[in-house]
Chain A
Amino acid sequence: MSATGLLDVFRRSFFHLESRILQAIGFNNHAVVPALSVQGPGIFPQLHRNEETEEHSLLDNIFWMAAPKKRRTIEVNRCRRRNPQKLIEIKTNIEPCSGCGNLKQKHVLCGFCYEKVRRETAIIRGQIQAQEGKPLNNPAVETVVLYEGEKPADTDAGKRIVERKRQRPSWFTQY
């Protein structure tokens, strides 16, 4: 009983002495365990001599960096890579276009029909450019596109006429 009591006393006194010494140095308990781990080089105070070699500080920095403890097994990797969140969802909003029959998304214009219209408008724009000659030369009137065999109507009295040497496409309605 007395022996264990003595040992206890010794142990306690030793720890007390140690803590007192540490306190004297300035090494308080709350600073030992970092509440937040940050990159090594950011928090190192410049207390030591500046002619320290670069290799030494690099090794010091490595000591504080996060690193994987164990290799991730292929089973774990597969679970992460193949979980349904990472797989591609199949789209349910694809439907055929009523005009041309190609596939389109419900909320998007049909790509084929759009391309068809784009080509025709590019040709019309080319003709307008040729008519105007130089940039910023457009007249201050409306433009009317007329196809083969079409005459300007009464409502198109003062408008600029662009002629196209082909039959009017079905999607470009006149009136």
Chain B
Amino acid sequence: MAASCAVGLGVSLARGLVRYAEASRLLAPCRVLPQSCIHTTTALEGNKNWERKNRVLHQPQPPEETRRAAEVYHCRRQIKYSKDKMWYLAKMIRGMTIEQAIAQLEFNDKKGAAIIKEVLLEAQEMAVKSHNVEYKSNLYVAESFSGKGQYLKRIRIHGRGMFGIMDKVYCHYFVKLVEGVAPKEEPRTGFDQAKEYVQQLRNRTIIHSL
């Protein structure tokens, strides 16, 4: 009687364990691995959401569906450079193939160009090693942008006993590489934008009307 109870308990425990394993591991439908419900990050640490995007697990695709393209998310934090100046470089390489982007950055004289080139090479290596990308040059830059890092404040002394607070600027750089060929985007003309604007005006509904 006691033995059967113990066995029953053991079985239910095992089932619970299996359910937990299912919930946490391979069979989860596009869910991130479970974390604690307690808010543990401090204000100084900032959001690390971009790094977490690499850990997203998709459900296995049915055989008739087109293969989902491999994506790699990479970033570098607290770069000693201005986010506005970094933006120009990030804007330049948007939509380029990775080889083209590396070539352009190699011959650019800006400080951020060398940093972005390092980040791209790291991301390319990551893609081939752990993200199931077959050819390292079959990648293109899908997203690329810069963000503000945490600034240090210093005093800048002016004349007549005045002072200003000087910001020592830092920035983050984020990039997303996708396998395959970049989708060709048609450039939006002014006429298209005007047409869209007029259409938006026409779509407005007047509430409480007849």
Contact check, A86 vs B107: say whether CB atoms are below 8 A apart. Answer: no
A134, chain B: closest CB distance, angstroms: 41
Contacting pair A88 B106 (CB below 8 A) = no
Alpha-carbon distance A91/B105, docked complex (angstroms): 10
The residue that B92 contacts in the complex, of A81, A88, A94, A105, with Cβ under 8 A, is A88
Q: Are A103 and B89 in contact (CB-based, < 8 A)?
A: no
How far does the Cβ of A115 sit from chain B's closest Cβ, in whole Å?
A: 14
Select from chain B the residue with minimum beta-carbon distance to A105: B107
Closest residue of B by beta carbon distance from A90: B104
Identity of the chain A residue whose Cβ is nearest the Cβ of B92 in the assembled complex = A88
- List of B residues within 8 angstroms of A81 by Cβ: 84
Instruction: Flag if A86 contacts B88 (CB, 8 Å).
Output: yes
Range, interface on chain B: 10 to 19
Contact with B along A68-100 (1 / 0, CB 8 A): 000000000000010000111011001000000
Interface size class of A (residues with CB under 8 A): under 10
Docked-complex contact A87 and B92, CB < 8 angstroms: yes
Chief secondary structure at chain A's binding surface: loop
Checking B88, B89, B103, B110 against A94 with a beta-carbon cut-off of 8 angstroms, the contacting residue is B103
Contacts of B107 in A (CB 8 A): 91, 94, 103, 105
Q: How far is the CA of A60 from the CA of B125 in the complex (A)?
A: 64
How many Å from the CB of A83 to the closest CB on chain B? 12
Q: Provide the bound-state CA to CA distance between A83 and B106, in Å.
A: 24
Set of chain A residues within 8 Å of B89, measured between Cβ atoms: 88
Asked if B91 is at the interface of the complex by the 8 Å CB criterion, the answer is yes
Chain B, 103-138, CB within 8 A of any chain A CB: 103-104, 106-108, 110
User: Given the complex of chains A and B, what is the CA–CA distance between A78 and B47 in angstroms?
Assistant: 26
A94: chain B residues within 8 A (beta carbon)? 103-104, 106-107
- Residues in chain B near residue A90, CB distance under 8 A: 92, 104
B185 to chain A, nearest CB (A): 16
**Cβ of B91: which chain A residues have Cβ within 8 Å of it?**
87-88
Min Cβ gap A36→B in Å is 26
A47 to B128, CA, bound (A): 79
Contacts of B108 in A (CB 8 A): 88
- Assembly CA distance A86 to B110 (angstroms): 14
Q: How far is A32 from B110 in the complex, measured between Cα atoms in Å?
A: 50
Chain B residues within 8 Å of A87, by CB: 88, 91-92
Task: Report chain A residues within 8 Å CB of B88.
Answer: 86-88
A41 to B86, CA, bound (A): 40
Query: Which residues 176-210 of B have a CB within 8 angstroms of A?
Result: none
CB distance from A109 to the nearest CB of B (A): 13
CA distance in complex: A169, B13 (Å): 72
Q: Which of B134-180 contact A (CB under 8 A)?
A: none
Interface string of A88-122 (1 = CB under 8 A from B): 10110010000000010100000000000000000
Given the complex, which residues of B lie within 8 Å of A86, measured CB to CB? 88
Q: Are B104 and A91 in contact (CB under 8 A)?
A: yes
CA distance A87 to B104 in the complex (A): 14
**A103 contacts B106, CB within 8 Å?**
yes
- Known contacts A81-B84, A87-B92, A94-B104; can you find 4 more A-B pairs with CB under 8 A? A88-B89, A88-B110, A91-B107, A103-B103
A-B pairs with beta carbons under 8 Å apart, 6 shown: A81-B84, A87-B92, A88-B88, A88-B108, A88-B110, A91-B107
The 8 closest A-B pairs by CB, nearest first: A88-B92, A94-B103, A88-B88, A103-B103, A90-B104, A91-B107, A105-B107, A103-B106
Q: Which residues of A contact B (CB under 8 A)?
A: 81, 86-88, 90-91, 94, 103, 105
